[in-house]
Amino acid sequence: MPDDRMMPNDALRLLFLAIEEVMGGDGMKAVLHGGKLDRYIGNYPPKNLDFGVKFSEYGGAEQAVEDFYGPRGAKAMLQRVGRATFNYGIKEQSAVLGLAGQALKAMPLPLTAKMKLLLEQVAAAANKSINQPTRLEEDAEGFWFIVDHCICIYRPKHAAPCCHVTVGALTESMRWLTDKHFTVQEVECMNTGAAACKYRIPKTPSE
């Protein structure tokens, strides 16, 4: 495993709240136990941005959700967890995360321009508030959300891209902004040997 990396307490706390929302209290306990994170049962990290928790712990919780459901069922559940992390982030922590929230939603701009603004803010929040180096690129058909140091490198090797929580969070961010579904895909993943995790967000909704 590569050298561990610290992240703010609140990032892991929000993941735990999201998993608990999707799996319930007992499921959450099973996940924390399965991920050898028993110390957090009934004792979530505090709501602050001190660098008190580790990337490997975040990855361990994701992996424990996957192990709980098995590889086939896990993808959808982890995407649901990701959607919940975005909703908690925007509702509870928009000031901390630097997300403009409702103000951005109401801006009189073309849809694609608003998508770009929100994705830029999410990337900035990943850099600043999650300590996860992230950048945004764009071409005619879509955006690339690129994570250069991902939590997935602290998880066991997978045969296919495994960052479903991020896919869910990005999907939900676009739904929240536009009330439309954009099919977000993780095209390349560090866990499977790529240099970065690259997510494609098309500029055209699928419905």
Among 163, 170, 177, 201, binds Zn ion (CB under 5 A): 163
Closest CA to 172 of 83, 60, 55, 63: 83
Q: Which residues ranging from 121 to 150 are in contact with Zn ion (CB under 5 A)?
A: 150
Residue 139, number of CB atoms within 10 A of its CB: 9
Cβ neighbors of 179 (< 8 A, separation 6 or more) are: none
- Is residue 152 a contact point for Zn ion (CB under 5 A)? yes
3-state SS assignment for residue 60: helix
Of 14 and 146, CB closest to Zn ion: 146
3-state SS assignment for residue 135: strand
Q: Give the amino acid at 197.
A: C
> Whole-number minimum distance, CB 197 to Zn ion, in Å?
3
Of 28 and 78, CB closest to Zn ion: 78
**Phi and psi (nearest 5°) for 10?**
-65, -25
- Is residue 197 a contact point for Zn ion (CB under 5 A)? yes
> Whole-number minimum distance, CB 146 to Zn ion, in Å?
11
Residue 133, number of CB atoms within 10 A of its CB: 15
Among 189, 198, 200, 201, binds Zn ion (CB under 5 A): 189
Of 29 and 75, CB closest to Zn ion: 75
With contacts defined by CB under 5 A, name the span among 107-115, 125-133, 175-183, 196-204 that binds Zn ion. 196-204
Q: What count of residues does the chain have? A: 207
Residues that bind Zn ion (CB under 5 A): 150, 152, 163, 189, 191, 197
